[in-house]
Amino acid sequence: MAIKMRILQTYDMAHEQEFLVLEKKFTALEKRCCEFPKGVRYKPIASALPTNTLIWECEFPTLDAAQQALKLFERNPQHEALASQQRKYFQSVRIEFLEKL
């Protein structure tokens, strides 16, 4: 069963530029580190979600693999250094797991 993990981060619109600069650094980190899942990022333009939301999605073979990716993010010092800079801009964060039918 394929699982899509979706991370939704709503951020302070007053700091959108700073937030998105850090997000580009996350993208570069994913490209450099072969063990990192390669997510796709979206920003709503017409949605029930506010436009100051970043959506990161990636498909995994199992729920356990998706959960292991979250643990990898937490354990990686480079990822954690970026995350600690970005957290101050968060208004909310939600993680969803979706089963592919």
pLDDT (0 to 100) of residue 11 = 98
Q: Report the distance separating Cα 7 and Cα 53, nearest Å.
A: 10
Question: In angstroms, what is the C-alpha Rg of the chain?
Answer: 14
Tally helices (H) and strands (E) across the chain: 3, 4
Q: What is the pTM of this model?
A: 0.93
Q: Could you give the angle at the alpha carbon of 89 between the alpha carbons of 24 and 59, nearest 5°?
A: 50
Domains along the chain with CATH numbers:
3-96 (3.30.70.100)
24-69 tens-digit pLDDT: 999 999 999 889 999 999 999 999 999 999 999 999 999 999 999 9
Query: What's the pLDDT score for residue 57?
Result: 98
